[in-house]
Amino acid sequence: MRLGVLDIGSNTGHLLVVDAHGGAAPLPAFSHKQPLRLAEHLDDEGAVSPAGIDALTGFVASALVVAEDKGCEEMLSFATSAVRDAGNSEDVLAHVADRTGVAITVLSGEDEARLTFLAVRRWFGWSAGRLAVFDIGGGSLEIAAGADEAPDVAWSLPLGAARLAREWFGSGLPDEEGLRQLRRRIRADIARDAGNLLRGGAPDHAAATSKTFRSLARICGAAPSGEGLLVPRALELAALSTWIPKLVEMTREELADLPGVSPSRSHQIVSGALVAEACMDIFELPQLEICPWALREGVILERLDQISVLG
């Protein structure tokens, strides 16, 4: 069947059209996306601004047209932390539904971590053993681990790259003391619940998903996306730690010129790098293998599983 997966993230709205059936990898057929930067369209009270609501509504309307044009039988629509944490979340969703007819499901942080874990497990398979998965989004960091398809532990932290950039880099990069405070805050937040994962023992395999991790891996020497999904890619802690002081010294224009970095996300690279380094350091992981599947694929796979059971 042909499915449309509408992902309203903190950075980007993305409709992925896939041909999918049980027992096979979802095959991407078409992609329609637009930078929304909802994590940065928040007012002082944490509500999505009118401009942000208009941008979201317009994108959903355009995505619906694309899904119909491409012959999607069903559209799975979900939103993550930017909408989840917004003070006017219900009003935003009601406005979108009223104008477009599309009902968007808001995923909890735990569900976001769980579904991402499912996608990564299916990608690497059972040979990965006990698996740990890290995903840095625009608004949140998801962590999950386990030996099965459902993780033993899964949680979410408000440490997304766009969120931290907005909170800490609003008027440019903070000074050395400000960076040290940010680094301390990130590590304290991650370490607070680190025992959730560590009590189960060291993972046999550690993986990362998301644009932030892919960009950092590319900066540190991983193969470009043009070489295909099946090329192994990894982010090395040693290389990342060497790069972070260089990233701090770069202008946004210089960051945007780095391989794998888009201009719309260049301002998030430093905050994302600090979160990635903290994850690897606290959990004593010298490297993270980059998985090309993430939350969208997890949503698709769970839906296919449901159809298989019902059928």
Does domain 109-295 fall under CATH 3.30.420.150? My reply is: yes
Q: Which residue has the tokens 């990233």?
A: 247
pLDDT at 311: 53
Q: What is the reported pLDDT for 310?
A: 62
Secondary structure of residue 239 in the 3-state scheme: helix
In this prediction, residue 223 carries a pLDDT of 96
Q: What is the pLDDT along the chain (311 residues), one digit of tens a residue?
A: 999 999 999 889 999 999 988 888 899 999 999 999 887 788 888 899 999 999 999 999 999 999 999 999 999 999 999 899 999 999 999 999 999 999 999 999 999 999 999 999 999 999 999 999 999 999 999 999 999 999 999 999 999 999 999 899 887 888 899 999 999 999 999 999 999 999 999 999 999 999 999 999 999 999 999 999 999 999 999 999 999 999 999 999 999 999 999 998 999 999 999 999 999 999 999 999 999 999 999 999 999 998 877 65
| Residue appearing with tokens 């899904």 | 67
Domain boundaries, the chain: 2-106, 109-295
Q: Which residues of 153-170 are buried (b: 16+ CB within 10 A; e: fewer)?
A: bbbbbebbbbbbbbebbe
Name the residue with tokens 């309307």.
Answer: 61
Distance of CA 271 to the CA centre of its chain: 14
Give the integer Cα–Cα distance in Å for 107 and 178.
Answer: 32
* Same-fold call for 2-106 versus 109-295: yes
Residue 258: which region, alpha, beta or left (left: phi > 0; alpha: psi -120 to 50)? Answer: beta
Q: pTM of the predicted model, to two decimals? A: 0.95
Q: Which listed CATH number (3.30.420.40, 3.40.50.2000, 3.20.20.10, 2.30.30.240) goes with 2-106? A: 3.30.420.40
Give 3-state DSSP helix, strand, coil % of the chain, rounded to 5. Answer: 50, 20, 30
Query: What's the CA gap between 233 and 259, in Å, rounded?
Result: 14
Instruction: Record the tokens describing residue 166, joined without a space.
Output: 């907005």
- DSSP secondary structure letter of residue 218: H
| Contact between residue 49 and residue 88 where contact means Cβ atoms under 8 Å apart | no
pLDDT of residue 70: 97
DSSP state string for 266-288: GGGHHHHHHHHHHHHHHTT-SEE
Distance of alpha carbon 204 from alpha carbon 128, whole angstroms: 6
DSSP, collapsed to helix, strand or coil, labels residue 46 as coil
Strand ranges (E), 122-184? 131-136, 141-146, 153-157
Give kind and range of the element (H or E) at residue 2: strand 2-8
Pairwise CA distance, residues 267 & 103, whole Å: 32
User: Residue 148: which of 133, 166, 163, 137 has the closest Cα?
Assistant: 133
Kindly list the strands in the beta sheet with 141-146, ordered across the sheet, starting from the edge strand earlier in the chain: 153-157, 141-146, 131-136, 205-209, 287-290, 234-236
Q: Which residues contact 214 (CB under 8 A, 6 or more apart)?
A: 222, 225, 233, 260, 290
Tokens of 69: 């044009």
Helix (H) and strand (E) counts in the chain = 12, 11
Q: How far apart are CA 241 and CA 134, in angstroms?
A: 18
pLDDT of residue 30: 97
Residue 300: in which H helix or E strand, if any? helix 295-310
Residues 237 and 284: beta-carbon distance below 8 Å: no
